[in-house]
Amino acid sequence: MAKNLDRVILWEQAVEMFEETELPAIRETERNGYIDKPMRREAWNNWTDMLCKTELISDWQYENWNQPECCERDVSFKPTPGTRPLY
Which domain does 44 fall in, by range?
Answer: 13-71
Tell me which DSSP letter residue 57 carries. S
Under a CB-based contact definition with an 8 Å cutoff, are residues 36 and 29 in contact?
yes
pLDDT for res 86: 46
In a domain, 34, yes or no: yes
- The letter for the amino acid at 45 is N
Q: Which of 47, 58, 20, 23 is nearest to 37 (CA)?
A: 23
In a domain, 52, yes or no: yes
User: How far is residue 23's CA from residue 17's CA, in Å, rounded to a whole number?
Assistant: 9
The distance in angstroms from the start CA to the end CA of the chain is 41
In a domain, 86, yes or no: no
In a domain, 35, yes or no: yes
Tens digit of each residue's pLDDT (9 = 90 or more) over 19-37: 999 999 999 888 777 899 9
Tens digit of each residue's pLDDT (9 = 90 or more) over 27-72: 988 877 789 999 999 999 999 999 999 999 999 999 999 999 999 8
In a domain, 40, yes or no: yes
Number of structural domains in the chain: 1
Under a CB-based contact definition with an 8 Å cutoff, are residues 36 and 87 in contact?
no
Tell me which DSSP letter residue 67 carries. P
In a domain, 85, yes or no: no
pLDDT for res 67: 94
In a domain, 77, yes or no: no
